[in-house]
A and B are shown apart, each in its own frame.
Chain A
Amino acid sequence: MTIPRAPGERALDLGARSGILAAPVTAKPTGNGLTLAGVRKRFGETTVLKGIDLRAEPGELVVLVGPSGCGKSTLLRCLAGLETPDEGGIHIGDRDVTRLPPKERDIAMVFQSYALYPHLTVRHNLSFGLELRKAPADLIRQRVDEVAGMLGLEKLLDRYPRELSGGQRQRVAMGRAIARRPTLFLFDEPLSNLDAALRTEVRVEIKRLHHQLGTTMVYVTHDQEEAMTLADRLVILNGGLVEQQGPAIDVYREPATRFVGAFLGSPAMSFLPAEATETGLVVGDATLESPTHHRGPCTLGMRTHDVVVDAEGPLELEVRVVETLGHATHAHGLVEGQPFVARLQGHERPAPGDRIRLRPVYMHLFDAESGARIVR
């Protein structure tokens, strides 16, 4: 059977559910890019978005990450048309959608709560959007079967949402978004109601879907691991402002601010007050080789893997708590009186009270006052 397709539309691969490795070669990017310029949003007295500038290339998976209450959902709702910005503009492709109602934006959204229609079967949840758009019946059936195949929902099509497990509901919510073939996908913490194992699995699935569909996606999470693993472009939000955006690995390795450094990586980056001098970087009683020409007080940031155990090392960690992960050991304690976490080899098992000497292999320096990264 042939299905009518819009020009340029691709067939979805039905056989790809066997895993990400079996997924077809990355699809050509479809859909549209996204531009936000100076988007501001107030609720009464509180300004939630304080001027957001953001770009996504067509086909990019953009992850918005930030602490609770920083405005991620609000930003996503502005993109969806569920909120209207007070200032600024939103373009999808070259269309100005700032004031368009949701139905005219050609987007799909996966809600944190899934928001499945309780009175409709899975089949009708999937087809709801197409039915609203008066798509022909055979196209609807085709799409539903296609999406059900992609997400493994074939056996659940006649069930009601209340008869599904959390993971299944989550799949239906994604299927409902995919069935419409929108030009932009929005995800608001779609995994936060799943248990840890399922979360990893669905995360891989989303990545695969993105490869397969090639559609632009904006994905909100407050889980930094999810953010790192999924993002083509990572956007760190804090207090209604973009702290940093760029390729995930760049943001991780060169955090623009102390906040970003602290936010990415788990356990979090440790910070030591330091003074950059002619002789080197002075941290308490220790003096490190200075990576910078900057002079004056600053904050030294190091992630758990930025130090190695070295009997000659300049820093001393006074171990308080030891966490055994198997492949690694996290030693929590104090360096120069400041809380510090170091990652050791799995076989290294210090006891609380031990003193370990550490040598830095990578250092992040931040301005002591502003928290901005000090470059060279």
Chain B
Amino acid sequence: MKRLAAIGVHAAILLAVAFALYPVLWVVSLALSPHESPGAIPWPTEPSLDAMREVVLRTDDEGRYLFLMQTGASLLVAFSTALVAILIATPAAYALSRFRFVGKDASQQALLATQMFPGVAAAIPLYLILDALGLIDHLGGLTLVYATTAVPFAIFQLKGAFDTIPRDLEEAAMVDGATPFEAFRKVVLPAARPALAVTALFAFMTAWNEFILAATFLSREEIFTLPVVLQRYVGEHRAQWGHFAAGAIVVSVPVMALFYWLQRHLVGGLTAGGVKG
């Protein structure tokens, strides 16, 4: 009876996994069979890496490896966005979490307001601003645009995290001989490490996957970010589904790698045990 129940549970789980993985398998299958359209069963009959190779090793007229340059551009934008978000949001969130100051409520509400509009809504004003700054078609400009949404979001995330870290910890550090800044750097920041990691990852992924604004503000092919590159494969003239799928796989690899690498930071409950609990 028990065994029967176990089999039932496993069957249900397998079904759920299959359901979730089907589209992914389909993409993998597409990527590996560039010369045929896939059927209902996502399994390539003549597996080939041609599409993958063509996507990754694509060169422009001058013989430069375009895809590698575009990957570089994407990485640069995503990393910079995460970095800017963390650097600005960490002190801001800490201040909002710990101190009382003039304009605290107002600034918090203003930050919240920015979260209520989709980023695209600001596309035109952003375009005008970037134009004035001479940052159209510039990765720095795109990073700046992404930061406008990443920073407020990160502030909320981190404020929530700091709120859960008991003040006792900082006070203990100060009694132990720390300045307020040392207490922040040596106690609060390490205790908030999981939250910092998640927030950074989130900012990175948002920037890495963003399409509309990137397509709006970039026009030089060699600095296209990867979502724009992918979209080009299923563009106006003909749909190269195999290339699109191959590219999609390559694009997801860094995100998966990052997730994997951050896993150890994500172990929840780092603050557990610090104070009674």
- Given A111-B172, A115-B172, A119-B193: A132 and B273 within 8 A (CB)? no
Q: Mark A96-121, 1 if CB is under 8 A from B, else 0.
A: 00000111000111011111111110
B270 interface residue, CB < 8 Å from A? Answer: yes
> With A82-B171, A111-B171, A132-B182 given, is the CB distance from A116 to B176 under 8 Å?
no
Tell me, in angstroms, the Cα distance from A116 to B178 when the chains sit together: 15
Check B118 for interface membership: any CB of A closer than 8 A.
no
- Tell me the chain B residues, 153-190 only, with Cβ under 8 Å from chain A: 166, 168-169, 171-179, 182, 186-187, 190
Residue A80 is within 8 A (CB to CB) of chain B in the complex: yes
Q: Are B168 and A115 in contact (CB under 8 A)?
A: yes
Contacts A109-B172, A117-B173, A119-B190; A103 near B274 (Cβ below 8 A): no
The one of B168, B176, B190, B273 that contacts A161, using a Cβ cutoff of 8 Å: B273
Q: Mark B216-228, 1 if CB is under 8 A from A, else 0.
A: 0000000000000
For A332, list chain B residues within 8 Å (CB).
Answer: none
Output the least CB separation between B191 and chain A (Å): 5
Contacts of B186 on A, CB cut-off 8 Å?
128, 132
CA A209 to CA B159, docked complex, whole Å: 40
Whether A176 touches B176, Cβ cut-off 8 Å, given contacts A117-B187, A118-B191, A119-B190, is yes
Chain A residues contacting B173 (CB-CB under 8 Å) are: 117, 128
CA distance A113 to B171 in the complex (A): 12
A116 CA / B186 CA spacing, docked (Å)? 13
Q: Is the CB of A193 within 8 A of B276?
A: yes
Q: Are A115 and B171 in contact (CB under 8 A)?
A: yes
A295 CB → nearest B CB, Å: 53
**Shortest Cβ gap from A174 to chain B (Å):** 13
From the candidates B171, B172, B177, B273, name the one contacting A162 in the complex (CB within 8 A): B273
B273 touches A160 (CB 8 A): yes
* Given A80-B175, A132-B177, residue A116 in contact with residue B273 (CB < 8 A): yes
Q: Which residue of B lies closest to A161 (CB)?
A: B273
**Listed residue (B169, B193, B269) with the most chain A CB atoms within 10 angstroms of its CB:** B169
Chain B residues with Cβ below 8 Å from A108 are 175-176
Select from chain A the residue with minimum beta-carbon distance to B180: A101
Rounded to whole angstroms, the CA-CA distance of A344 and B87 in the bound complex is 70
* Contact present for A103 and B276 (CB under 8 Å): no
Q: What 0/1 pattern do residues 76 to 96 of B give for CB contact below 8 A with A?
A: 000000000000000000000
Are the C-beta atoms of B272 and A162 separated by less than 8 Å?
yes
User: Quick one: given A133-B177, A180-B176, are A116 and B171 in contact (CB under 8 Å)?
Assistant: no
A149-172 Cβ-contact flags toward B at 8 Å (1 or 0): 000000000001111101001000
A118 lies within 8 A of B274 (CB): yes
The reply to whether the CB of B106 lies closer than 8 angstroms to some CB of chain A is no
User: Could you say which residues of chain B place their CB within 8 Å of the CB of A133?
Assistant: 177
Mark each residue of chain B from 239 to 276: 1 if its CB lies under 8 Å from any CB of chain A, else 0: 00000000000000000000000000000011111111
B190/A129 in contact, CB under 8 A:
no
Cα of A144 to Cα of B65 in the assembled complex, Å? 58
Cα A371 to Cα B179 in complex, Å, equals: 46
Q: Is the pair B174, A102 in contact by a Cβ cutoff of 8 Å?
A: yes
CB distance from B221 to the nearest CB of A (A): 46
Question: A117-B173, A180-B176, A180-B177 provided; 12 other pairs, C-beta below 8 A?
Answer: A101-B179, A102-B174, A109-B172, A112-B276, A115-B169, A119-B193, A129-B177, A161-B274, A162-B272, A162-B273, A164-B273, A169-B276
In the complex, 21 of the A-B residue pairs with CB atoms within 8 angstroms, ordered by the A residue number, are A80-B171, A81-B174, A101-B174, A103-B178, A107-B175, A108-B175, A108-B176, A113-B275, A113-B276, A115-B168, A116-B273, A117-B187, A117-B191, A118-B273, A119-B193, A128-B186, A132-B176, A132-B177, A162-B273, A166-B276, A169-B276
- A residues neighboring B (CB under 8 Å): 80-82, 101-103, 107-109, 111-120, 128-129, 132-133, 160-164, 166, 169, 176, 180, 186, 193
The 3 lowest CB-CB distance pairs between A and B, nearest first, are A162-B273, A118-B274, A113-B275
